[in-house]
């Protein structure tokens, strides 16, 4: 029996591919090793600021992270995050700064994951998604949730410690479900949020609540947002989504009912589409596809049977 997961094996999802980077977490508390790694001539460093880094478009069409040796990197003592090593032993660090550095040759440009994630190599995308996730967490969790004291960075950016009460705080990841629902006519349920551009439709999604399984979250979210009852639920794949701290868990789900009643808050409009209807809507411009970087596009493509047009 072929499962949806089997069908994704040859189609890596953006930000989820094997990056070739060993995060080497056992080195994060070894200050002597980290100091030696930082000063090694092969070490490479990039700056992250506000979810962006500098990227460069090479003449051969590749887009790459702009990285420098550590001795050329901007100075910082605290916001220096060890990201891992590659198979050649190169160590990678990210520096969190208030602004990105300028480039003398003017060839680099600032870009975030939404813009450059699908253009970068698996290695560079993996490094950037790790750095952006750490930066988001560091900016939003500067104070101890137990006593309110300002915390300090430890473990090469992966822990914040409270000097007052001794509590240790770790980067959080919020699980969210994202699902393509089909009915007994094999039509796909797509919805549109109020703040999206006119015509933009995508899969339904929502956060997992406390004490809830991910399968239960799929059923609840579809019922809440579109009024559709879901029966069978099958896991497909996951995708890190650091906007600011989510892990998207992708599913295919089968509807037990077809009547739509949107909540009017999360979802402004929802419709059932056959493949022919969706193809015609794409062609006419009535429907805009979801971003190619999102797992939503992959879920729709699994059902659709071909790549979606790119916005």
| pLDDT, tens only, 38-96 | 999 999 999 999 999 999 998 888 999 999 999 999 887 679 999 999 999 999 999 99
What 3 state SS string does 103-129 have? CCCCCEEEEEHHHHCCCCCHHHHHHHH
Q: Which of the two residues, 106 and 279, has the higher pLDDT score?
A: 279
pLDDT band at 124 (very low <50, low <70, confident <90, very high): very high
Q: Which residues pair with 48 in a beta bridge?
A: 96
- Stated pTM of the model: 0.91
Indicate if the alpha-carbon torsion angle 12, 15, 19, 24 is positive or negative. negative
Q: Which helix (H) or strand (E) holds 301?
A: helix 295-304
Which band of pLDDT confidence, cut at 50, 70 and 90, is reported for residue 8? low
Q: How far is CA 108 from CA 92, 99, 104, 217, in A?
A: 19, 14, 9, 42
Q: Is the pLDDT of residue 162 over 90?
A: yes
In the numeric block, the tokens 């060839």 are attached to 107
In this predicted structure, what is the pLDDT of residue 168?
97
pLDDT at 58: 86
Whole-number Cα distances in Å, 129 to 17, 46, 53, 176, 247: 11, 13, 11, 17, 12
* Res 9: pLDDT: 47
User: pLDDT over 90 for what percent of the chain?
Assistant: 85
pLDDT band at 101 (very low <50, low <70, confident <90, very high): confident
CA 53 remoteness from chain centre: 15
One-character DSSP codes across 9-31: TTSPPTTTS----B--GGGTT-H
Output the CA–CA distances (angstroms, integers) from residue 186 to 162, 253, 273, in the order listed: 53, 11, 9
Q: pLDDT at position 1, please?
A: 37
pLDDT in tens, 231-256: 999 999 999 999 999 999 999 999 99
Residue 174 has pLDDT above 90, yes or no: yes
The whole-angstrom separation of Cα 301 and Cα 60 is: 29
């Amino acid at each position: 029996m072929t499962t949806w997961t089997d069908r994704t094996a040859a189609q890596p999802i953006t930000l989820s591919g094997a990056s070739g980077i060993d995060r080497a977490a056992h080195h994060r508390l070894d200050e002597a090793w980290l100091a030696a790694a930082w000063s090694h001539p092969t070490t490479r460093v990039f700056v992250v600021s506000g979810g962006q880094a500098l990227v460069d478009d090479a003449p051969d069409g590749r887009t790459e992270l702009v990285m420098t040796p550590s001795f050329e990197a901007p100075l910082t003592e605290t916001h220096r995050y060890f990201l891992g090593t590659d198979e050649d032993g190169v160590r990678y660090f990210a520096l969190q700064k208030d602004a990105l550095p300028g480039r003398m040759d003017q060839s680099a440009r600032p870009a975030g994951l939404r813009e450059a994630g699908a253009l970068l190599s698996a290695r560079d995308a993996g490094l950037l998604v790790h750095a952006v996730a750490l930066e988001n967490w560091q900016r939003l969790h500067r104070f101890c949730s137990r006593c309110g004291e300002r915390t300090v960075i430890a473990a090469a950016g992966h822990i914040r410690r409270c000097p007052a009460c001794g509590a240790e705080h770790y980067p959080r990841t919020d699980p969210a479900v994202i699902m393509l629902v089909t009915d007994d006519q094999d039509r796909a349920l797509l919805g549109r949020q109020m703040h999206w551009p006119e015509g933009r439709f995508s899969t339904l999604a929502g956060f997992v609540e406390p004490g809830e399984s991910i399968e239960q979250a799929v059923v609840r979210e579809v019922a809440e947002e579109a009024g559709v009852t879901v029966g069978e639920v099958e896991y497909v794949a996951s995708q890190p989504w650091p906007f600011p701290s989510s892990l998207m868990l992708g599913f295919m789900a089968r509807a037990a009912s077809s009547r739509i009643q949107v909540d009017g808050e999360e979802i402004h409009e929802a419709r059932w589409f056959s493949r022919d209807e969706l193809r015609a809507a794409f062609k006419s411009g009535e429907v805009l596809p979801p971003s190619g970087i999102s797992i939503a596009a992959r879920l729709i493509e699994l059902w659709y049977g071909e790549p979606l047009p790119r916005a």
